[in-house]
Structure 1
Amino acid sequence: MNILITGASGFIGTQLVKRLSHHQLTLLTRHPEHTAERLGEHHHYLSSLDGLTNLDSFDAVINLAGEPIAGKRWSDAQKKNICHSRWSITAKLAQLSSASDNPPSVFISASAVGYYGSQGSQHIDEASQLSPESKAEFTHQVCQKWEQEAQNAASETTRVCIIRIGLVLGAQGGALAKMLPAFKLGLGGPIASGQQGMSWVHLDDLIALIEFLLINPHTSGVYNGCTPTPVSNKEFTKALASALNRPACIPAPAFGLKLALGEMSTLLIDGQYVVPKRTLQEGFTFKYSTIDSALNALFK
């Protein structure tokens, strides 16, 4: 297959490129030369979509591009960057697909479990109804329009698959890499109440899910990209400390996080217990279905 991948140089994209290296890949990245050094000179690279008038030459699109949502404090300017980096490229890809005489057969686009907003202890799936309060949250608003732009690529010849991705666990990047220094020093601990939900997925399972949607023509619509076993922050903290053979008894109080991070602290203090009901119904199987098995695979 000839596949266009955006966000190819990111944490998820880098591993996806390795997994799909037997296909013909075109990678969209802001720094083609640097990315080629990391991912290989044999791929085709684009620095922007400006030179494309359609997507006729591609069999599939995998859209992972987006400013890290937890990369910086949520100033008004940063919120605009978070939104623009997702919405504009997704809208452009959908426009190019619509302008194609022979559009891609599948358009896979990332989203996030932040779509659901804060949900307390309730377990939710792809069909769950959201409250007005959840819909008012920034993370929902980001994901809702992101998904809407992706759905605009749908047609009789193009199926759209959207993956609402949870906390991705990998040793070489993502949120886990930011947690590791403190935990390795024995300075980790639960955040706020520790009861907030953490919906997670091992990086290998997420890559396998993307490939599953890529090659199975019956799939379309929204899929939760997280395991069937979400855990509380307290349970996650205990499992991570155990995998690293370190204690984890230094809590991070909510007021301190709010003071340090502002509105972005909601990513840590609030949460949701998301289950992949539709993902499982379609026949996908998670290799790492418990938090202990996932973390032990990464660190032992």
Structure 2
Amino acid sequence: MNIVIAGGSGFLGKKLTDHLTNQGHSIYILTRDASNKPVLPSVHYVQWLHEEAKPIDHLNEVDAIINLAGESIGSGRWTKQKKTNILQSRITSTQSIIQLIEQLPIKPKVLVNASAIGYYGTSLSKTFTEESESSGDDFLSNVVEKWENEAKKASNYGVRVVFCRLGVVLDPNEGALNRMLLPYRFFIGGPLGSGKQWLSWIHIDDAVRMFSYAATQPNLEGAFNLTTPFPCQMNEFGKTLAHVLNRPHYLPAPSFALRLLLGEMSTLVLDGQKVLPNKAISSSYPYLYPTLLSALENLLKK
């Protein structure tokens, strides 16, 4: 397949590019600056500016577009400007993708658009699946709803659209796990907040493979939760992490301190949600690391 990726230079995009090229696909990465990029077999860098979204002559036949573009939600406090950037970066890039689809003489079969389980809102007691409506009126749920509404416009051109709603992606070098590791390495790890909040997580390798799965399964459409079938409460997560690292789990980080330190971004670790990947389960997606213990042992004992 000829697959176009927007946001291919990010931590998830790089791993996805490696996976897809290993599967024999040709990858076209949209970038603001195509100069001085590494020369790799089956990977092509295409000059592309969100603001212009001009036709790209040599992309005549695209099978799939994967949109990962957007400013990271986990870097820095959510100031007013940061929140504006988080929303606008996603809306602008997705609008440009729709313009690109409009201009392509042969339309792609599918648009796989990154999204997030933040769509569902937070809860200590509810269980969310792809059939659940948004129950949140917080910043993240509003961002995701607007983001998906833009991506949905690809269906006007006969393109299958999949919203890959990512849970918390576990990778030892990037994201939430990297930050959670530090106190345990110094023997001061413990539950965050009450410890009762749910963590709906996914191993980075499964996240990558599920994006590929979404692109290649013709019957998969709409919301697609990228989470494990076995979410856990934060206290269980901490205990399992301590077990794998052979460290204690006893010193809690109180909610008020985390909210003071992180501001509104503290919702990522304090206000959880229990999300189940019903579509992945029903379609028999073969998880590499379905359980937390298997995932952490793979990530931390390499």
Q: Normalised by the shorter chain, which TM-score bucket?
A: over 0.9
Structure-2 residue corresponding to 1:230: 231
Call closer, same or farther: CA 1:299–1:256 in 2, change over 3 Å. same
**1:189-268 equivalences in 2 (<5 Å):** 189-268=190-269
Q: Is the 8 A contact 1:56 1:103 kept in 2?
A: no
Unaligned runs of 5+ in 1: none
Matches within 5 A, 1:27-106: 27-30=29-32, 32=34, 36-37=37-38, 40=40, 43-49=43-49, 50=52, 52-53=54-55, 56-106=60-110
The equivalent of 2:5 in structure 1 is 5
CA deviations on 1:66-86 (whole Å, 9 max, x unpaired) are 111121111110001100111
Report the secondary structure of 2:81's partner residue. Answer: helix
Q: Closer, same or farther in 2 for the Cα pair 1:51/1:272, shift >3 Å? A: closer
Residue number in structure 2 paired with 1:142: 143
Letter in 1 for 2:104: S
Q: Distance in 1 between matches of 2:178 and 2:47?
A: 27
Partners of 1:142 and 1:250 in 2: CA distance: 34
Distance 1:296 1:269 in 2: 24
* d(CA) in 1 for partners of 2:42, 2:211: 22
CA contact (8 A) 1:205 1:288 kept: yes
One-letter amino acid matched to 1:71? S
Cα distance in 1 for partners of 2:222, 2:106 equals 21
| CA distance in 1 between partners of 2:193 and 2:53 (Å) | 48
Q: Which residue of 1 aligns with 2:112?
A: 108
Q: TM-score, normalised by structure 2?
A: 0.91
Amino acid at match of 1:245: N
Find the aligned partners of 1:293 and 1:29 in 2 and give their Cα distance. Answer: 36
TM-aligned CA deviation for residue 263 of structure 1: 1.2
User: Would the aligned equivalents of 1:56 and 1:101 in 2 still touch at CA under 8 Å?
Assistant: yes
Alpha-carbon distance in 1 for matches of 2:289, 2:139: 30
Superposition pairs of residues 261-276 of structure 1, within 5 angstroms: 261-276=262-277
Distance of 1:41 and 1:232 partners within structure 2? 43
Corresponding residue SS for 1:141: helix
Task: Tell me, yes or no, if structure 1 residue 161 matches structure 2 residue 165.
Answer: no
Task: Give the Cα separation in 1 of the matches to 2:173 and 2:6.
Answer: 20
Q: Please state if 1:23 is matched with 2:18.
A: no
Percent of aligned pairs with the same amino acid: 41
Name the stretch that deviates more: 57-66 or 102-111: 57-66
Q: Which runs of 4+ in 1 moved over 6 A?
A: none
Name the stretch that deviates more: 119-128 or 76-85: 119-128
Aligned counterparts of 2:6 and 2:111: Cα–Cα separation in 1: 11
1:232-268 deviation line (CA, Å, top 9, x unaligned): 0111111111111111222111111111111111111
Deviations 1:86-115 (CA, angstroms, capped at 9, x unpaired): 111011101221333311111101101111
| SS at structure 2 position matched to 1:154 | helix
Separation (CA, whole Å) in 1 of partners of 2:31 and 2:105: 25
CA distance in 2, matches of 1:66, 1:147: 13
Structure 2 unaligned residues grouped into runs of 5+: none
Conserved in 2, the CA contact under 8 Å of 1:161 and 1:223? Answer: yes
Once the two structures are TM-superposed, the CA of residue 47 in structure 1 deviates from its matched residue by: 4.6
CA RMSD of aligned residues (A): 1.9
> Partner letter of residue 143 of structure 1?
V
